[in-house]
């Protein structure tokens, strides 16, 4: 087990999920329900499943494409998103 990678993955997902819409949905659901435990297990299970599917997809894609190319594609994608947010935000 690569403990460094495990810790890095945990910190990355933990920080990216803080204040995310899934967390806000969990807050809303637990506020309306009589069983916050059920909301916790449901949302935790969903996050585990989506993370598992993402890891499987990432492993499959990494078999087809070199890591350097994947990093370049991700960097270009994030740059495009940043440019759109900065310059093409349609606020009135």
Residue 44 lies in a domain: yes
Give the pLDDT of residue 92.
Answer: 52
Summarize pLDDT for 47-66 with one digit per residue, the tens. Answer: 899 989 999 998 898 899 99
Residue 74 lies in a domain: no
Q: Is residue 91 pLDDT above 80, yes or no?
A: no
Integer Cα distance of 17 and 90 in angstroms: 26
Residue 9 lies in a domain: yes
Give the residue numbers spanning the domain of 16: 3-65
Residue 56 lies in a domain: yes
Integer Cα distance of 38 and 72 in angstroms: 41
Residue 29 lies in a domain: yes
Residue 35 lies in a domain: yes
Summarize pLDDT for 26-41 with one digit per residue, the tens. Answer: 888 888 888 989 999 9
Number of domains in the chain: 1
Q: Phi, psi at residue 88, to the nearest 5°?
A: -120, 30
Residue 92 lies in a domain: no
Global confidence as pTM: 0.62
Q: Is residue 72 pLDDT above 90, yes or no?
A: yes
Summarize pLDDT for 4-22 with one digit per residue, the tens. Answer: 999 998 898 888 887 788 8
DSSP for 47-82 reads HHHHHHHHHHHHHHHHHHS-HHHHHHHHHHHHHHHH
């Amino acid at each position: 087990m690569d403990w460094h990678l495990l810790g890095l993955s945990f910190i990355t997902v933990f920080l990216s999920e803080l204040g995310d819409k899934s967390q806000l949905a969990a807050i809303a659901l637990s506020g309306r329900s009589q069983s916050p435990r059920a909301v916790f297990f449901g949302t935790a299970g969903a996050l585990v499943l989506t993370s598992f599917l993402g890891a499987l997809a990432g492993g499959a894609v990494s078999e087809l494409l070199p890591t350097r190319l994947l990093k370049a594609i991700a960097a270009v994608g994030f740059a495009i998103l940043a440019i759109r947010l900065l310059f093409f935000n349609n606020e009135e």
